[in-house]
Amino acid sequence: MIRRAALAFAAALAFAAVPAVAQKAPPAPVVEVSLSELPREARETLVLIRKGGPYPYAKDGIVFSNREGALPRQKRGYYHEYTVKTPGERTRGARRIVMGSGGEIYYTDDHYNHFRRIRE
């Protein structure tokens, strides 16, 4: 009987030590930013987008899937992403413009962690 109680107590302690499954935090709210507040490179990227290219990176214009759920939920193919050059960066860097099919435009400078909707 004592052995059974000791085993039950040990099991309870082991169970209590297991960390709870981390819940994904809800996405940060999307705030607005005026076009004039964006870096020059972001404004240049917008000009390229409106002209239809040519784009400096092969992945510019690909579908942005919004896996993080930071932007309003839409059907696949609704959003497209474009690279915003980062001075001194040898790769694509972290800055992007994401365009919605409805005309909305978003900017991120931290690789999709936070977005700001561009107000023109």
Task: Based on the residue annotation, tell me whether 32 is a catalytic residue of this protein.
Answer: no
Task: Based on the residue annotation, tell me whether 81 is a catalytic residue of this protein.
Answer: yes
Indicate which residue of 81, 104, 114, 120 is catalytic.
Answer: 81
Measured between alpha carbons, how far is 61 from 32 in angstroms, rounded to an integer? 22
Structure tokens at 5: 């109680």
Chain-centroid distance, C-alpha 52:
23
Q: Within 18-101, where are the H helices?
A: 40-51
Place of tokens 């917008």: 46
Name beta bridge partners: 83.
Answer: 96
CB 45 within 8 A of CB 57: no
Indicate which residue of 32, 111, 114, 120 is catalytic.
Answer: 111
Please list the active-site residues.
81, 111
